[in-house]
Structure 1
Amino acid sequence: MNLATITVLLASFVLALPANAQQRQADFKVDATAGYQYDNNVSISELDENTGEADNALLLELGINGNVAISDSLSVHAGYRYSQTAYQEFSEFDTALHQLHAETRYRIAGLDTGLAVRHFAAGLAGDRFLDISQVSPSVARLIGNKLYLRGAYTQSNKTYADHEGRNADNSASDVDAYFLLDGMRHYIAFGYRLEREDAMNPELDFSGDRLKFSYGRQLQRLQLKALLALESRDYRNVTESLGTARRDKRLRAGMEASLPLSEYFRFGLKAQYAESDSNLDSARYDETIYNASLSASF
């Protein structure tokens, strides 16, 4: 039984709970987002491809999520999300992504434990591109009322439709610390990840790590977030075209602002910057993205 099947079964379990349980403790949400994006270097990082050219794109996102509290300590969460990016000129870089996830959460001895399964099905230019299945156990704890610690392990399987050499198994361990200055209205967070990927093509095997910093602040109704991430990848085997092993260093930074317009509608602005430095020419680039969006949730 693959992870996608497990995800579907868990999601079905949520929907199949007795009607009275859903009426008492179920919470469901539907949301939709439409937006406009400017990208100064249209790219597909999974293939180490970039155009070096700018383009505009329309964004669309639809989602449904449900949470059922089975008891005071046990709950099940499941959801589906679809997102699409359609460029004006570079239609060969149009993407569509289906995301399906389910998670059980159990609180015991002051610990928040979870087991999540996820499946991502990505399309590129209207064709199947990449499928990723994941399973991820986690454990977290609130210490006092100011520090929240979380650890997670994620095992992923990647399957490409037309790039079999990139098919891979990936394992990652994450540790995150949230310093709650005013709950989630004002916080600072640090995260560290260690990961290892083993691909069908040994040239693409790598070990890496990532350091992440995030900041969130709510000023009356305005919500602000900032992100900075530094990532390093050391490829374990020689890349034939280089005559040596590949080395990547990546930087990501972003800022976003969100303002509710009413009970159901929200306006958002986002800016993202990515820089990749590598001894492989095709993986060396920088990219800046700006977008504006209008969201509705019910």
Structure 2
Amino acid sequence: MKRYIISLCALTVSPLLMASIASASQDSQSDFSIALETGMERDSQLTVEEIDQYEAASDMATHLQFEAEGDWQATSRLALKGGYHYTSKSYQDNEDFDLDIGRVFGDVSYDFSVLTVGANQHKIDAKLAGDGFLDMTRTGFYAGKLFANSFYLRAELLDIDKRFDNLSDRDASGDSVATDGYFFFNQGLSFFSLGIEQEEETAQVEHFSYDATNYRATFAHEFNWLDKRNRLKLNGRYSSRDYLGIYPEIEESRADTKNSISLTWDLFFTDHFSMITRLEQTDADSNLSSADYDATQLSLIYRLDI
């Protein structure tokens, strides 16, 4: 993901969590988990998209991540979830692109049999090059329905508030509506999904405001090979973003399109220790020259689930 930052804005429900719905127990229970990741990532293009910071240079980065999550199935219908994630990406030669993200979140859902409804909130604090960068609050309201233990349909309304430490012109509020469908097979361990999202963001300065349409598709398949559990995931995304007002650098309204495709291979050495290999290619087209580029990212990450 050469545009590493703001996977902040892509904090939707994990498809792997969706897969667990098909086999989840209805008994009251609780669970707590911790996960650690470490590895290296090679980026061919350095990018901080939220502030249009680009550099046509390749660099190697150290990846570190910590996750702590708790789940409580309070009743057969009421579920609570919360946690904290911290991610750090530090480049060898380009410290201006070093990014640290802390995220605390909570989620509550209730199963009405006909429909499961819920709400969540994410508080995100991002630091760039060691300095304060961005505070974001993301609030979501969603509804989902599982059909015949093989198809899950989910819709979500999102409200997002962004506050930049040193760039108040880019402070913004946004709304979006997203719909995703998941088709499960292989006893719920593999799936295919399609999604669409309509997004609107209003910034303090008009030419940073935009309307966007985002499409996404994922295919994931889990299998055994060489007596080890493996998972392959192919993910594609396409977005079209139209900015409002006249962008000063180009003296016209800015327009961006972006498509990316990634292939991820998870190799589970044990139930708790795995290796994640990921290759991603992104093609970004824009009438703003600095935002018009092609990029490749290769990642090798080791993960420990406790």
Please point out which of 30, 40, 43 is paired with 1:39: 43
- TM-score of the aligned structures, taking structure 2 as reference length: 0.87
Distance 2:57 2:249 in 1: 25
Q: State whether residues 150 and 188 of structure 2, in contact with CA within 8 Å, keep that contact through their aligned partners in structure 1.
A: no
- Secondary structure in 2 matching 1:239: coil
Distance 2:197 2:271 in 1: 37
Q: State whether residues 211 and 229 of structure 1, in contact with CA within 8 Å, keep that contact through their aligned partners in structure 2.
A: yes
Write the deviation string for residues 10-52 of structure 1: whole angstroms up to 9, x where unpaired. xxxxxxxxxxxxxx72200011000011111122111222211
- Larger deviation, residues 175-184 vs 108-117: 175-184
- Secondary structure in 2 matching 1:245: coil
Counterpart residue number, 1:211: 215
Distance 1:140 1:75 in 2: 14
- TM-score of the aligned structures, taking structure 1 as reference length: 0.90
Please point out which of 53, 59, 63 is paired with 1:55: 59
1:72 equivalent to 2:80? Answer: no
Write the deviation string for residues 40-99 of structure 1: whole angstroms up to 9, x where unpaired. 112211122221111111110011000111111001100001110111100111110001
Distance 2:180 2:280 in 1: 22
Counterpart residue number, 1:94: 98
Distance 2:270 2:222 in 1: 17
The CA RMSD over aligned residues, in Å, is 1.1
Counterpart residue number, 1:200: 204
Please point out which of 157, 164, 186 is paired with 1:160: 164
Counterpart residue number, 1:247: 255
Write the deviation string for residues 124-153 of structure 1: whole angstroms up to 9, x where unpaired. 010011111011000000112221100001
CA gap of 1:71–1:192, structure 2 versus 1, over 3 A, is same
**Pairing of 1:8-157 with structure 2 (within 5 A):** 25-157=29-161
- Secondary structure in 2 matching 1:294: strand
Distance 1:226 1:183 in 2: 19
**Pairing of 1:185-196 with structure 2 (within 5 A):** 185-196=189-200
The ranges of structure 1 where at least 4 consecutive aligned residues each deviate by more than 4 angstroms after the TM superposition are none
Counterpart residue number, 2:267: 259
- Secondary structure in 1 matching 2:244: strand
Counterpart residue number, 2:233: 225
1:181 equivalent to 2:189? Answer: no
Counterpart residue number, 1:295: 303
CA gap of 1:230–1:150, structure 2 versus 1, over 3 A, is same
Counterpart residue number, 1:278: 286
Aligned residues: 275
Q: Gaps spanning 5+ residues in structure 1: where?
A: 1-23
The amino acid that maps onto 2:292 is R
Q: State whether residues 25 and 69 of structure 1, in contact with CA within 8 Å, keep that contact through their aligned partners in structure 2.
A: yes
